[in-house]
Amino acid sequence: GAGVSQTPSNKVTEKGKYVELRCDPISGHTALYWYRQSLGQGPEFLIYFQGTGAADDSGLPNDRFFAVRPEGSVSTLKIQRTERGDSAVYLCASSLTSSGATGELFFGEGSRLTVL
């Protein structure tokens, strides 16, 4: 597809379960970002990939959160032992920028996670 694709669009899980959220960026975009957005708030930065490596993971809230991008394209955000406070919309974005000041980000529609 032409845009950033995120799956699933909705995920309901129980407290304590493991969750994976997938992001398929725009082809050729080297930079990939994960953000988390709670209701009525702006997106909160989680992690940024440049190619296969996590260039900045300072926004991951704790060690239950982990993200990978093994081939420099698709990325998976993994959340272990989910808690009710993890409920949010998880947004993925990609960008052409390979270094330096960030240009325009292209966002997916998000994955809405609800932890019961």
Partner 1 sequence: SQQGEEDPQALSIQEGENATMNCSYKTSINNLQWYRQNSGRGLVHLILIRSNEREKHSGRLRVTLDTSKKSSSLLITASRAADTASYFCATVTGGGNKLTFGTGTQLKVEL
Binding site for partner 1 (CB under 8 A): 4, 31, 33, 35, 40-45, 48, 50, 55-56, 59, 91, 93, 97, 99-110
The minimum distance between CB 56 and partner 1, in angstroms, equals: 6
Nearer to partner 1 among residue 91 and residue 115 (C-beta): 91
Q: Residue 13 in contact with residue 19, Cβ under 8 Å?
A: yes
Nearer to partner 1 among residue 8 and residue 16 (C-beta): 8
The minimum distance between CB 63 and partner 1, in angstroms, equals: 20
The minimum distance between CB 16 and partner 1, in angstroms, equals: 28
Measuring CA to CA, which residue among 26, 67, 31 is closest to residue 46?
Answer: 67
How far apart CA 6 and CA 14 sit, in angstroms, is 21
Query: Rounded to 5 degrees, what angle do the CA atoms 71, 99, 7 make?
Result: 40
